[in-house]
Chain A
Amino acid sequence: MKILIAILARDLRLALRQGADSIMVVAFFIVTTTLFPFGVGPEANILARIASGVIWVSALLAAMLSLERVFQTDFEDGTLELLSLSPVPLELVVLGKVLAHWLTTGLPLIIAAPLMAVMLNMNSAGFGTLMLAMLVGTPALSLIGAIGAALILGARRGGVLVSLLVLPLYIPVLIFGAGAVEAALLGLPAGEHIQIMGAILLLTLALAPLAAARALRLAVE
């Protein structure tokens, strides 16, 4: 636990000092979401209909955008090698880094999401569910993304590659995340969706650090 906090604190500090990463992610999210009214027209009904999907897809892309950097700088400056040679389990290190990634990208997205929901004319009945679904869904995105980010270390064209690897794996989160909001908008209970997302989160929480740590060991081998 102490180690987890040490890694988390360091990564957070690095993110804050290097600055701008979280702001960029949120800016990307807002700009992408803004593109949709230009694409489908400003008609309020249509926008309200697609709002939950648009917000989720944009959040997915925004979360993915920052993935490449989760391990890349540490890989390049030799920190990753030393982390994998430290006596602490690498899975724990991965968990700390993913947590830092989520705090700097996932959390700001959750805060920005209702704003975009208002702009897309979404019924306010869905706001609570949207934020709850994102609260459960975005950590899973960071965890799954960490596997991709670890696998592409040392590869050519890492950034494009990571999206190709990770986006198909994001589909279940997208389906249930958008489904939960839609259910809430129709006045149906969204609990079931959230529960399934919770199950996905638990599964990724158990498996993703293992897979990512394995991939990191391959990268420094």
Chain B
Amino acid sequence: MVCVDWMIVFSGSDLTCRRGERLVFADLAFEAHPGDALMLRGRNGAGKSSLLRLMAGLSEPLTGTIFWQGENIRTDLPAHRARLQYLGHQDAVKPVLTVRDNLRLWASLRDVDNSDAAIDHALKALGILHLAKTSGRFLSSGQKRRTALARILIGESDLWLLDEPTVGLDRESCADLARIIDEFRAGGGIVVYSTHIDLDVAKPRSVDLDEFAMPMFDWLTTDDENHGITADTGDTRQSGANQGNAAGKTHKSRSTPSPDFTGIA
């Protein structure tokens, strides 16, 4: 079924995502080779975070599959979790623990051999080694963000999923982040990130989520015809399926976003 190009390590096809009762995006596909950076763009609510959560295996897509080297990530989630590092909206920095103690848990969960050295290395890369003994409550929001970013450097990983990594970072930190990302990519890692400001990453591939937005109304009408409450004879269902296809096609043909959409993004 899946054409396995071994160079395409991380890919997804036919992805539909629903958050709560709202359809976020539909028919989304992506692929990434080792060393790639995938930049997710889109309006607020276009589903950047949702897509990253799907990629991490936190939530399950309504339809579609995400593959790692040709294998569905959901068949072996622990293995997928072992290879990825995820940065969410929240920094998960405990106010009563020092920066080092905060990071130590993640080192032990990933079974890092020399955790102190690994933490030192990560802190140095983000320029917060001097804060190692500061407790979390005294950190500024930017420093907390950098602590959270230091976490993703601890332990081996092949895939970084970064949700708005630049929030709260100053210009120098953004440069640091861009450099770290490029180093990781040079080692064959794949980075997927969402951001509102431009991060100076070399040649990212861009995925514009607005292209895959499916207006709720379209979706509801297709669904109505398929599994209608009132229409429940076989014939109506048949014609409904056809109409559903038609809607899907028209939707795809609109892949160039209308001027209105780009204005928002």
Contact = CB atoms under 8 A, between A and B. Distances in A.
Q: Do A and B originate from a single complex?
A: yes
Interface residues of A, number: 24
16 contacts: A3-B109, A6-B104, A6-B108, A7-B105, A10-B104, A17-B97, A18-B96, A77-B94, A78-B89, A78-B91, A81-B86, A85-B57, A86-B110, A87-B81, A221-B58, A221-B60
Interface of A: 2-3, 6-7, 10, 13-14, 17-18, 76-79, 81-89, 220-221
Nearest to B91: A78
B88 interface: yes
A96 B230 CA distance: 52
Contacts of B84: 85
B92 A77 contact: yes
Interface in B56-96: 56-60, 78-79, 81-82, 84, 86, 88-94, 96
Given A6-B109, A82-B88, A14 B59 contact: no
A13 B101 contact: yes
A85 B111 CA distance: 14
A3 B57 CA distance: 22
Q: Is the interface of A mostly helix, strand, loop or mixed?
A: helix
B162 to A, nearest CB: 13
B106 interface: yes
Q: Which of A18, A77, A81, A82 has the most chain B CB atoms inside 10 A of its CB? A: A82
Given A2-B108, A10-B105, A14-B96, A77 B90 contact: yes
Contacts of B78: 87, 89
B58 A85 contact: yes
Contact of B88 (A10, A13, A81): A81
A146 B60 CA distance: 25
Interface of B: 56-60, 78-79, 81-82, 84, 86, 88-94, 96-97, 101, 104-106, 108-111, 151
A88 B90 CA distance: 21
Contacts of A83: 109
B247 to A, nearest CB: 28
A202 to B, nearest CB: 26
A79 B88 contact: no
A78 B92 contact: yes
Given A77-B91, A78-B91, A79-B94, A86 B58 contact: no
A13 B101 CA distance: 10
Contacts of B89: 78
A86 B91 CA distance: 15
A85 B90 contact: no
A89 B81 CA distance: 10
Given A6-B108, A221-B58, A85 B86 contact: yes
A84 B58 contact: yes
Given A78-B91, A81-B88, 8 more contacts: A2-B111, A3-B108, A3-B109, A17-B97, A77-B90, A77-B94, A86-B81, A88-B109
